[in-house]
Structure 1
Amino acid sequence: MFRVHVKTLATKCTRLHQVKQVANQTFRNGPRAVYSTSPGSDWEYLQRSVIPTDYFQDSLPRLAVPKLEASCDNYLESQQVILTQKEWEDTQDRTIKFMAEDGKYLQQQLRKLDQRNKHTSYVSKPWFDMYLKSRLPIVLNFNPFMSFVDDPKPEYRTQLLRSTNMIISSLRFLKSLSENILEPDVYHLKPEQTKNEKFDNFCRKMPKRFAWHGALLHSRKSAFPLDMSQYGRLFNSTRIPKEGKDEFLTVPDARHMLVIRNGHFYVFDVLNDEDHIKSPDKIMAHIQYILQDNRPPPEFPIGYFTAENRDKWAAYREQLLATGNGAALNKIDTALFALCLDDENSVEPNDVTRRFLHGDGMNRWFDKSFSLIMTPDSRACVNFEHAWGDGVAVMRYFNEVFKDSTENPFVHPSTPIPDAGSDGAVQRLEFELDTTLKEGVQNAKANFDALIGSLDLHHLEYDTYTKDFVKAKKISPDSLMQLAIQMAYYRQNRKFVATYESCSTAAYKHGRTETLRSATMATKKATEMIVDRGNKESPMDLYKALVDCSWTHGDLTKKAAMGQGFDRHLFALRTLAEEENFFPHKIFTDPNYQKINHIILSTSTLSSPAVVIGGFAPVTPDGFGIGYSIESNRIGFNVTSYPPATNVREFIDCLRVSLDDLHDVMMKTSPRSSS
């Protein structure tokens, strides 16, 4: 998922500029941050925004229910790419009847429901329910990961130093967020014109109920404040398994964090009774204490439960509570976040993906809103539970923590580790397991091993050309990556299939994502021209096909970001129909509706200088999970699949050839010569 994952908007919206940095003193052996636990100390805050964090929230526009005819037209247009002419005609007939009959009634009911819930989005509840009602294990099926680039300073690349500095930066982020001084998320179309003090000062003078409109007016529609409702579940939050449908638990006043190492669970307070951050050197001492605990793994590591079928896990959890483990589970559930300290390094990209996407199952608690995972050589990542939120909040946290922890570290190679009373301050959680639970752990481990054993993956690092080269050719870099994916799959399988690209709708209140159907008639035409007839087509015609793909993709992106795609609308109509037991629905009983929602190519882009690699598993047994990025220095693909239905290495080979083909097309033409 990043299947609901991180689209360009989610990464562009990230606010990276900082307020005045913490003062530093220079000592003989290196810098040491000056910090104090006195109230209001600047060192505790990542930012002090002049605009309150929630300033735009009340004035955000609501996501409109699209017109039924527009959604059906867009649906048929996407179906045309993957269906035969006869299949498409049948689907067209069903869709027309749906618009005239069942669809008209359901649209009326959806609009009435939307009017009764003006505090949120029409698709918000069914989308949350889609995640929470799924009984599939969240490992591979939902949780994605994003891996940090290395700390630029080699002397800071230790598990202890980087863990501590990322904890401190996380707490500074939390404090800024909870005290409403974290800079609001704003998507700047022209940052050189609007990302400045003039814009901030104008916005903060606007009444809150008009703040969003004021931002648009002042920026001449070049700055769009974004929804930040998901940030409330970033910290102190966990998904709780329940039979039939899971729940969220968020306890904002908890002050402790969770550390998992070698299958053991430890907790200690990182905030004091006045909610001030405890001194960084003492936090480092607690981490060191945990790292020095050499006890063997538990015989029955309960972390495996979080990788189970959700109903099974719900039953195990009830049994854990019944056997007296409620207090320990509460410590896990309410912790600020989890830090997973692994004991093995992963160097090769494929090994990194396996470690950060699923790991060994023992040293994880996949239900936490997010976990920081750290290897001994300081490779780090965020693995996050997907039901509560999407890439906007997670990527903002990811980028801010990377920037702060590397530019403004609070512990250093020269920092002495004090006697912090860790033996009393750090609590190792213990669990009482009866025979049923012990057998459950063994079964959960066997199921986990079988699940991850079914996954294959491979990656591609490509540097023949980069984002700047593509942009110079007047082509959207993202559209070119999507075309390369279409070409690779067609080259491997000689057909076109349902494709998903995630696009954020955070410009609207409680907006989450919309599907960008990036397999279009333009990509189909260009693919067939290049793959089947490349030597017979003129260079100019091939280039124009690329431009057409770029234009079409850009138009689809705008529609999706504005909530004018068809997927979420039809999903909400179908959900409403199921709740009302209203059948039949000619569009939803169409086998081709199932076909377009059987996502073979699930794709998401990660665009951030702080990300080295990211990934997620396929959403169907015969599909691919494709994380990709196109940067100023490289192009990267990280692809997963489930053999034998798919062959990921062959797909990667086809991707490489497709990227070369696209390079040849662009090298033979120029934007000027095409005009």
Structure 2
Amino acid sequence: MAEAHQAVGFQFTVRPDGVDLKLSQDVIKNIYLSGVTAWKKKAIQFKNGVLAGVYPASPFSWLIVVIAMMSSLYTHVDPSLGMMDAIKENLPYRSCVSVQTRAVLSAILFATGLWLFLIYLLRYTLKALLSYHGWIFESHGKMTTSTKMWLSLVKMFSGRRPLLYSFQASLPRLPVPSVDDTIQRYLESVRPLLDTKQYNHMEILANEFKDSKAAQLQRYLVLKSWWATNYVSDWWEEYIYLRGRAPIMVNSNFYIMDLLYVTPTHRQAARAGNVVHAMLQYRRKLERGEHAPVLRALGTVPMCSTQMERMFNTTRIPGIETDIVQHLTDRKHLVVYHKGRFFQVWLYTGGRHLLPSELEMQFQRILNDTSEPQQGELKLAALTAGSSQGVNKVSLDAIESAAFFLALDDEPQGFDPAKTNSLDGYAKSLLHGKCYDRWFDKSFTLISYPNGKMGVNAEHSWADAPIVGHMWEYVLATDCFHLGYTEEGHCKGDVNKGLPHPSRLQWQIPKEVWRSSKAMLRIADDVDFHGCLFTEFGKGLIKKCRTSPDAFIQLALQLAQFRDQSVFCLTYESSMTRMFRDGRTETVRSCTAEAVAFVRAMEDKERTLTHIHTLALFRKASEKHQNMYRLAMTGSGIDRHLFCLYIVSKYLGVDSPFLKKVLSEPWKLSTSQTPQQQLNLVDINKFPKYVGAGGGFGPVADDGYGVSYIIVGENLITFHISSKFSCPDTDSYRFGQHIRKAMIDIQALFKPENDKKTAEHVKIVPVENGKKHI
């Protein structure tokens, strides 16, 4: 270990004639540089903390206010209306201080108070402006005069050069919707999924709840919204994630893929070296708060950055009834897994990050290591897929306190145009691997393949996919366009061969590992994945149809679902609520009455409706979906409110058949869009091959589908589809074919003269002998 290596440089021997002291100059130099770096880091963190704390003002503005107040002493104009005189007369130790000094001190104190008052005034004015969401309900491309004025005011009060956390204090709190509105929207959402008898029963339960228990539960929820920064997020993290007792592998964790078409180098150690170094650069900027704030809406409205705080040095610690998320700070090592062995790699030397070339050397040393795993070590990480207790504490602490976890795999993965199922295997490798070669409890596991491809497996409790995606975009851009590689594919820079070798972690392995590994393999083998690249058209053509790309895809998913299952189902689409402080996600119930009417029109074999009427139904369904998405983003969703009412009912011991019914409903189609180009570091119009493949997650329901999609540039949409082999009614490849045909069929509505061959050339691959296509 690095500590042991450095200790060798400091030796002393007690001799009869005194003490013989030997010091290593290299070690002393490293200690000195480490101390300088640590103090420099603290100074920068303090400076940036002050900048974020006084935002949207600046520390320099304090000096301006002080000078203005000091000037008033000489102009005999009192802008304080007598307050400075009152302060001067009440200063302690008056007899020891001259009149002039007391006047200066009173001016400084008044100026400081006025400055703080102005900061809070600016901050709450900005918060009031950000609480306005009328702009989001306007038609795309048609901005009203009032919205233009509002946008100008937001820009004016947002200040200059904000840091990552500058807007946090100005973000509004998530509002609690009214019970009447939530119940009305809920009943509207389930109407197309229930027959008359079922709907009437649900309506009775809803009205009974509204008339009896709802008011009491709502009062406690409103009280919490006043006290907590967000009335949903802490309960969502605890009860949906940390109290879940199902294995997090497949059921909770998600994955993100590498670049789709480009592999910067085929040397595994070199690619891992560059990517890890880029991650360390990202972490340094994150710890200092130097990243620019995420601005999504209109390029001006800020998003909450709270989730980013726990990206590194974070581990989910298992418990009996509930887990906890442990976040540490400033950890300087990485744990690497390769062929059943665990290695600890130090990331700093002489007060700086290891260079990419130095990291490459360390990873190559691990790849060249031919030692065998200790007894039981090979499948140790399977405990994190199910239960993780009983392993050696020192080594476990090394993993849990590591910056993140790196897995050096020995089987190549990635997209191969010559293989129709290359994304399928790639997705399964990232999501679960061999079940024992990922540390599923870490905030994320970086996965490196021998062909140079990379990927990420992320634990879900601490953050949502856009947060990891933000980091991943930075890393890929830095890797390809800033760090680069030599002509031989190695990392650039000199190599310090004097670095201590990675050290093996030692274990005492329990027999439970083998049982956990077998159980997790059964879960992993049941996952049916299909990656589908839709290249017929993309966002560019959809926008020409004057409709939302997300609404277009969601309606295509409803059409594909009906063609696949012959029934409609409760559909989950994730939307974000990060325009509010500590916001995470909300549900958009995409299977609306308008969507059902459109799908039935598309599937009407007798063609009782004209082409124009079907297109009108599509536009109506699209507008409905967009409105629901906007409501979810602005705090007027359905499901998080009902979820929190249910939690309050459990605390109070109040039984509610309505809330029980709502919370037990299965999401047979769970969907999510992976955001792209959050940082705009790469111009994909200029570099069209440098696009990500997105990511995905496991199926939420045993008899349903999970669909993640990413809209890449103007001409590509990638779908990641998951289901379970054990369900005879689902098939991920078949569903992908249904999605493809649904997309083409809907696009044909906008071109009556469209060549029918376009819609006919995509055919559903039949299921042979009752077995799924794999």
Using structure 2 for the length normalisation, give the TM-score.
0.71
Cα deviation for residue 464 of structure 1 reads 2.2
Within the candidate set 341, 352, 357, 2:408 is matched to 341
Aligned AA for 2:696? G
Of stretches 600-609 and 380-389 in structure 1, the one that deviates more from structure 2 is 600-609
2:353 aligns to what? Answer: 277
Within the candidate set 115, 140, 151, 2:250 is matched to 140
2:271 aligns to what? Answer: 162
Cα deviation for residue 151 of structure 1 reads 7.6
1:288 aligns to what? Answer: 364
1:61 lines up with 2:143 in the alignment: no
Structure 1 stretches lacking a partner, 5+ long: 1-35, 192-222, 671-675
Aligned AA for 1:587? F
Cα deviation code 1:289-315 (max 9, x no counterpart): 11111234444221110111xxx43xx
Aligned AA for 2:458? F
Alpha-carbon distance in 1 for matches of 2:264, 2:717: 28
Within the candidate set 112, 115, 129, 2:223 is matched to 112
SS of equivalent residue, structure 1 residue 268 = strand
Alpha-carbon distance in 1 for matches of 2:716, 2:523: 32
Aligned AA for 1:358? H
Contact 2:189 2:592 (8 Å CA) reproduced: yes
Alpha-carbon distance in 1 for matches of 2:720, 2:260: 18
Cα deviation for residue 273 of structure 1 reads 6.6
Of stretches 539-548 and 626-635 in structure 1, the one that deviates more from structure 2 is 626-635
Cα deviation for residue 571 of structure 1 reads 0.1
Contact 1:132 1:247 (8 Å CA) reproduced: yes
Alpha-carbon distance in 1 for matches of 2:606, 2:493: 64
Cα deviation code 1:600-635 (max 9, x no counterpart): 001011242642141111111111111123332223
Within the candidate set 562, 565, 570, 1:498 is matched to 570
1:450 aligns to what? Answer: 522
Cα deviation for residue 372 of structure 1 reads 1.2
Note closer, same or farther for the CA distance 1:426–1:151 as it changes in structure 2 (3 Å cut): farther
Cα deviation for residue 410 of structure 1 reads 5.8
After superposition, where does 1:183-332 map in structure 2 within 5 Å?
A: 183-189=292-298, 191=299, 223-272=300-349, 274=351, 276-300=352-376, 301-308=379-386, 312-313=387-388, 317=389, 319-320=390-391, 325-332=392-399
Cα deviation code 1:9-59 (max 9, x no counterpart): xxxxxxxxxxxxxxxxxxxxxxxxxxx999679xx99xx994222111122
Note closer, same or farther for the CA distance 1:534–1:278 as it changes in structure 2 (3 Å cut): farther
SS of equivalent residue, structure 2 residue 658 = coil
Within the candidate set 716, 719, 722, 1:634 is matched to 716
Contact 2:264 2:480 (8 Å CA) reproduced: no
Alpha-carbon distance in 2 for matches of 1:580, 1:346: 51
Cα deviation code 1:340-392 (max 9, x no counterpart): 11000124111101111110122210100011111111211111000011123
Contact 2:555 2:622 (8 Å CA) reproduced: no
**RMSD, matched Cα:** 2.3
Note closer, same or farther for the CA distance 1:379–1:279 as it changes in structure 2 (3 Å cut): closer
Contact 1:50 1:181 (8 Å CA) reproduced: no
Contact 2:558 2:599 (8 Å CA) reproduced: yes
Within the candidate set 655, 658, 661, 1:587 is matched to 658
Within the candidate set 226, 234, 255, 1:125 is matched to 234
2:282 aligns to what? Answer: 173
Alpha-carbon distance in 2 for matches of 1:297, 1:549: 57
Note closer, same or farther for the CA distance 1:235–1:589 as it changes in structure 2 (3 Å cut): closer
Note closer, same or farther for the CA distance 1:108–1:382 as it changes in structure 2 (3 Å cut): same
Contact 2:666 2:701 (8 Å CA) reproduced: yes
Cα deviation for residue 62 of structure 1 reads 0.6
SS of equivalent residue, structure 1 residue 587 = helix
SS of equivalent residue, structure 1 residue 612 = coil
Contact 2:697 2:706 (8 Å CA) reproduced: yes
1:617 aligns to what? Answer: 698
Alpha-carbon distance in 2 for matches of 1:522, 1:351: 37
Note closer, same or farther for the CA distance 1:155–1:464 as it changes in structure 2 (3 Å cut): closer
Alpha-carbon distance in 2 for matches of 1:299, 1:454: 28
Cα deviation for residue 98 of structure 1 reads 1.1
Cα deviation for residue 416 of structure 1 reads 6.7
2:425 aligns to what? Answer: 351
1:656 aligns to what? Answer: 740
Cα deviation for residue 461 of structure 1 reads 2.3
Alpha-carbon distance in 2 for matches of 1:638, 1:498: 19
Contact 2:192 2:593 (8 Å CA) reproduced: yes
Contact 1:619 1:625 (8 Å CA) reproduced: yes
2:140 aligns to what? Answer: none
Contact 2:466 2:675 (8 Å CA) reproduced: no
1:103 lines up with 2:103 in the alignment: no
1:510 aligns to what? Answer: 582
Alpha-carbon distance in 2 for matches of 1:173, 1:375: 22
SS of equivalent residue, structure 2 residue 199 = helix
Cα deviation code 1:560-593 (max 9, x no counterpart): 111210100000000111122112x141244xx2
Alpha-carbon distance in 1 for matches of 2:494, 2:478: 22
1:384 aligns to what? Answer: 458
2:67 aligns to what? Answer: none
Alpha-carbon distance in 1 for matches of 2:354, 2:311: 20
Alpha-carbon distance in 2 for matches of 1:516, 1:569: 13
Of stretches 138-147 and 478-487 in structure 1, the one that deviates more from structure 2 is 478-487
Alpha-carbon distance in 2 for matches of 1:272, 1:80: 63
Cα deviation for residue 533 of structure 1 reads 4.1
Aligned AA for 2:659? F
Contact 1:374 1:380 (8 Å CA) reproduced: yes
Identity, % of aligned positions: 27
Using structure 1 for the length normalisation, give the TM-score.
0.81
SS of equivalent residue, structure 1 residue 532 = coil
SS of equivalent residue, structure 1 residue 611 = coil
Note closer, same or farther for the CA distance 1:155–1:575 as it changes in structure 2 (3 Å cut): closer
Contact 2:374 2:507 (8 Å CA) reproduced: no
Alpha-carbon distance in 1 for matches of 2:297, 2:350: 39
Alpha-carbon distance in 2 for matches of 1:416, 1:389: 35
Cα deviation code 1:224-260 (max 9, x no counterpart): 1111111111000100111110011111121111211
Cα deviation for residue 411 of structure 1 reads 5.2
Higher relative contact order (CA 8 A, sep 6+): 1
Alpha-carbon distance in 2 for matches of 1:344, 1:231: 31
Note closer, same or farther for the CA distance 1:587–1:653 as it changes in structure 2 (3 Å cut): same
Of stretches 411-420 and 131-140 in structure 1, the one that deviates more from structure 2 is 411-420
Contact 1:466 1:633 (8 Å CA) reproduced: yes
Note closer, same or farther for the CA distance 1:353–1:534 as it changes in structure 2 (3 Å cut): farther
Aligned AA for 1:176? K
Contact 1:150 1:378 (8 Å CA) reproduced: no
Cα deviation code 1:491-527 (max 9, x no counterpart): 1222111100111111111101000111111110110
Contact 2:230 2:582 (8 Å CA) reproduced: yes
Alpha-carbon distance in 1 for matches of 2:216, 2:607: 52
SS of equivalent residue, structure 1 residue 302 = coil
SS of equivalent residue, structure 2 residue 468 = helix
Of stretches 462-471 and 504-513 in structure 1, the one that deviates more from structure 2 is 462-471
SS of equivalent residue, structure 2 residue 245 = coil
Of stretches 424-433 and 164-173 in structure 1, the one that deviates more from structure 2 is 424-433
